[in-house]
Amino acid sequence: MEAVRSNFSQSYFPSKAQSPKAMPYSQKLSLALTVLAPMWPVIITFGLMSNITNIIVFLKAGVKENVTTLMLSLSISDLAFLILITPTMCGIFIMAYAKLYPWPFDFHFIYFKFYWPAFTAYDISAFISVSLGVIRCACVAMPLRFKLVFTKARTVKWVLFLVALAVGLRIPVLSIFRIVHITNPATNVSTLYLAEMNKDAMSRINDVMNRGVVIWINYTTMITCVCILSFKLYQASKIRRSITAAEPQHAGTSAEKTAPQTPLQSKDLQVIKSVVLVCSIFILSQLPFLIVSTYRLVESDFTVEARLHNLFSLFSQTSLTCSYLNASLNIFVYYNYNSKYRAVFQSLLSWGGGRDIKHNVAEKIRTA
């Protein structure tokens, strides 16, 4: 995603060598703005509400183990991303439809100033999603040692490390823009503007580290984890089917003693399913950006200024839309595959519904 905006900045802050024939932003993205942009406010609003709900539910249920800790952290980073990306979305609409309005500020300010912090939060979400996949693979590989190795305290320290890592990797682009005041000599009115500092060099470093190395490590790791966990789910499903088929043959006896046992408990299977779905959402949402970044390596015209600008703009705005969806849809996974989450969520919907409801929810949380 980040490469999309770094290229747009070349249109907003043109150099003397830049071609004056570049098409206006609204014409370049007319298709994307017509088809995709109307969905953005709806997706972001839903994402803000869903992640706030996730945070409340996880805190009310109790953060007692590593997977819940990571899911809570993921909800917080997704919420931060959606909050920070909202000004960028507003900037897109301003540049497309209200560019000539006499704004009391440089409208590029709200677009660019919050973009890189937003995608720093998105990087944190990506790292946490990868961690979820890796930890569940470790749980399957060494179930007896898992709780001793991956404690809650170590998981919290790991999340803090991921935050520091994401910020550190983004320092080059986080340091590009500076806020300056420019006074109009005709009106003597001071306006906020963004000034660039070493944009080309810092963008190049970001392209190599984040758009190149980091994202492919995340993506390949995530796909590997999803494949491993999906295979384990398939094995567990086969074992359960064999147990079900064996039960009629052992009627009147203890079928549980004669039939093979699945090494994964029902709760573990539900957790694995939720992690697989969260990781799959991430994989699908990253696919458009991977197509953009990979094709740009072999086709120099696939940029916002060159011959294939319309195709590039369509892919880049599709990628942006997918990032909104990625940060908004996890609530459906948690509700369907996390019994503790579902119990607390239902209790929030039934607030004030009586002592029996609260007692039943507390019992579900205790046994979940």
- Cβ-contact 202, 172 below 8 angstroms: yes
> Which 8-state DSSP code applies to residue 353?
S
Interhelix angle 330-337/266-298, rounded to 10 degrees, is 160
Digits of tens for pLDDT over the chain (368 positions)?
443 444 443 333 333 333 333 333 444 455 567 778 888 999 999 999 999 999 999 999 888 888 889 999 999 999 999 999 998 888 878 877 777 777 766 667 777 788 889 999 999 999 999 998 888 887 777 766 766 777 888 889 999 999 999 999 998 888 887 777 777 677 666 666 777 777 777 777 777 777 778 888 888 888 888 888 888 777 777 776 676 666 555 554 544 444 444 455 666 677 778 888 888 888 888 888 887 777 766 666 666 666 676 777 777 788 888 999 999 999 999 998 888 898 999 888 876 554 544 555 555 555 55
Report the C-alpha gap between 108 and 89 in whole angstroms.
11
Cα angle 59, 64, 70; round to 5: 75
Q: In this structure, what token pair is assigned to residue 245?
A: 């088929």
Return all residues near 152 (Cβ < 8 A) that are at least 6 apart. Answer: 63, 64, 65, 66, 69
Report the C-alpha gap between 274 and 349 in whole angstroms.
22
Domains of the chain, first to last: 2-13+23-242+261-344 (1.20.1070.10)
Helices (H), the chain: 2-12, 25-28, 30-35, 40-61, 66-97, 108-112, 115-141, 146-149, 152-174, 199-206, 215-246, 255-258, 266-298, 309-326, 330-337, 339-349, 355-367
- pTM given for the model: 0.77
